[in-house]
Every structure is written in C-alpha cells, then in structure tokens.
Amino acid sequence: MTTQRATIESFDAAAMTAWQAAHRQRAEQALASALHTSTKETSRVKEAMRYAALAGGKRWRALLVYATAELCDAEISVADAAAAAVELLHAYSLVHDDLPCMDDDDVRRGQPACHIAFGEAMALLAGDALQTQAFLVLAQSRLPDPAAACALLAKAAGADGMVGGQALDLSGEATTLDALEAMHRCKTGALIEAAVMLGAACGATLSSEQRAALARYASAVGLAFQIADDVLDVEGSTPALGKTAGKDAAQNKVTYVTLLGLPSAKDKMRALCEEAQQALDIFGAAAWPLRALAAQAVTRGH
C-alpha cells in the first residue's frame, strides 16, 4: 500500500459513481439471494421481510463493507455475505424503529412502513427474522472466520450496541453532548463500525496499526453520519428523505442541532469527516472509496 494521501478533491467523480453502482448492484443481488425462498407459496412473514429489505435504500453500509474488503485485498464474492448481513441487520433495525412503541413512523424509504403494510405483529416478526437471517448468512459464508464475524456483528447489534442505543433513546436521558454521543455511537455508529471491520475480516490480516486506523475511521464516520441525520431532519423534506421530516422537533427530541445549533452541528460533522480522512492516511491512495464514502456521509441529501 502506498503512503500518498488522496484528498477528497482528487476523487474522480465518474469513477466513484461507477464503483458505487457496481457494488450497490452486488449488494442488491446478495440481499435478494439471502431472502430467496424455493417454495412456491411465500409465507406472509417472508413477504414482509422482502418488503422491508429490498425496497431500495442507499446500501451505504454494504458499500463500506466492499470498500474495506477491497482495501484488504479480499475476494469480492467473499464480501457479498458480509454486505448482505449488514444490510439485513440494518433492515431489521428500521422495521422495529418505525413501530409505534419505538419511534412511531408511518413512512420508510418513500413507502408505507412495514407495520403499516403488514400490521404490527407481522412487522415485529419480520424484523426478528431479518436479524436471525443476518447471522445465518455469516455463519454459512466463506469468510476466513465466520464465528468471529458473527460475534462482531452480534456485539454491534446487542445491548452494548444498537439495542442499547435505542434503549437510551427511549429513556430520554441523553440530554447532554456526552450522553448524546454515547447513545448514537451505540444506536447508529455500532453497525457502521461493524460494516468496516467485517469488510476487513474478509481479506488479508492487517497490522495492529492498520486495524486501529480503520476503527478510528469507522468511529468518526458513524458519528458524522448521525449528525448529518439530525441536520437533514431540519433541512430535508419528507419526499427527499423517504421518511417523515421534522420529527425530532415535533417530538422535542434532543439532537446535535438542538444542543449545538445548526451551524455548530455542521462544523462538528465536518470535523469528524476530516478525522475519518486523516485516519486513512496509513493506507494511502488505495483507500479512496472509503474516503469518498466518508465525504458522502456528510453531504448526502437523504
């Protein structure tokens, strides 16, 4: 790997667009394969699973898997399982997040939320099944160490990760910057960090310095992504976001925008993006897809 640093400005936009299109298509195919049923009669719960997981989306977490896997010289087909697993787990979290007992949203990815389309009970079951399917995909994968990959994803998903973050969110106790950061590093950041580290697990063994650099990158990108969500909730529209805009204010939720103000929240978001970029210096120009994805985390429109 070279030591030359590739700046955001040096990215070839056309090359990145082509790279994303190709890898997003791989992610869609891997997801469809993971949710394929060979029976003629598809059960209602499987219909709900496919509805929730295959209804579009940025596949940004899957792209992080692929970008890191390629950085680590992994065979791309090996990374398909990790990409699918991350997106399955993400889909589960969105189904449950939209439930009336959680964040209570009727719209997801521009269509009725799963519980609106299939009912609350079926949506709950579909979410459960999407989560377990993620671990099945990893367990049956060609990753060098499927058990370790399952453990990595389980940690991100559980009480010290996404579930713990959601519990903190529901408690309403995250009212300071430190508490808000801790909540979002669990609720949003944990799966983003898992996507990066699962990608690394698909390929060659990294040095301790390289692993630490990827961990710093993932941590910074995960928090930047959440701040961008807070900003978009204020500045975005429901059609553009594919979910209800302005919900944070309507529910009087504490966000980076409410605590810092919009300009300072954007400053922090950009500072985290730069922190992520600096973490990749050890990899040189080879890390350009990860650099571009970090930039997109804070410039996206949905």
The residue extents of the domains of the chain are 12-299
What is 12-299's CATH number?
1.10.600.10
First vs last C-alpha separation in the chain: 33
For residue 40, pLDDT over 70 is answered with: no
* Mean pLDDT of all residues belonging to the chain: 89
For residue 1, pLDDT over 60 is answered with: no
pLDDT tens, residue by residue, 143-169: 999 999 999 999 999 999 999 999 999
* Average confidence (pLDDT) over 93-107: 93
The residue ranges of DSSP E strands in the chain, in sequence order, are: 107-108, 111-112
Give 107's DSSP letter: E
For residue 212, pLDDT over 80 is answered with: yes
pLDDT tens, residue by residue, 213-237: 999 999 999 999 999 988 998 886 6
For residue 75, the model assigns a pLDDT of 93
Q: Please state, in angstroms and as integers, the Cα–Cα distance from residue 92 to each residue in 100, 201, 224, following that order.
A: 15, 23, 22
pLDDT tens, residue by residue, 64-76: 999 999 999 999 9
For residue 5, the model assigns a pLDDT of 38
For residue 10, pLDDT over 90 is answered with: no
For residue 33, the model assigns a pLDDT of 94
